[in-house]
Structure 1
Amino acid sequence: MEAPQYVAARVQQALAEDARTHELGIRVDIRGDQLFLRGEVSGFEQRERIGQVAKESVPDLHVHNEINVVEAPRPGEDEHLD
């Protein structure tokens, strides 16, 4: 059985190299047969694509997509800080 850190590294490499995601900022944690994706992205579609690429990379693990979607301000829109 492959060590968890190698599985996590393989998933992170897939997320970075896959044309659908090109994602570098996602944390991948493995616990037993569970894989956890954590981080932030700017859209629901990107979140779903990351989950899909991870599932394709490790089909034998149960993927928990815990990535948060944060709304990025649109260009030209003032950012309001409270």
Structure 2
Amino acid sequence: MEAPQYVAARVQSALAEDERTNELGIRVAVRGDQLFLHGQVSCDERRALIADVAGEAAPGLTVRNEIAVMDVREPGEREKL
């Protein structure tokens, strides 16, 4: 069985190198047979893609997607000082 830190590093590398994600800001942790993803993204689609890539990089592990979706909006009115 591969050490958890090596699995996490492999997933991190896959998230960074896969053209679907190119993601550096997601933290990965492995505990037993579960792979945990933590971080923030701008939309649900990106969150799902990251989980897909992570699952492909670590087959056999249950992916626990704990990535939060940030509410990103255009700036409002200009602030007058």
TM-score by length of 1: 0.89
Alignment partner, residue 60 of structure 2: 60
Q: Select the structure of larger CA radius of gyration.
A: 2
Q: Partner letter of residue 38 of structure 2?
A: R
3-state SS of 1:29 partner: strand
Task: Indicate the RMSD between aligned Cα atoms, in angstroms.
Answer: 1.1
Alignment partner, residue 23 of structure 2: 23
Q: Partner letter of residue 78 of structure 1?
A: G
Runs of 4+ in 1 over 6 A off after TM superposition: none
TM-score by length of 2: 0.90
Q: Partner letter of residue 65 of structure 2?
A: N
Structure 2 portions without partners, runs of 5+: none
Take 1:3 and 1:59, find their aligned partners in 2: how far apart are those partners? 14
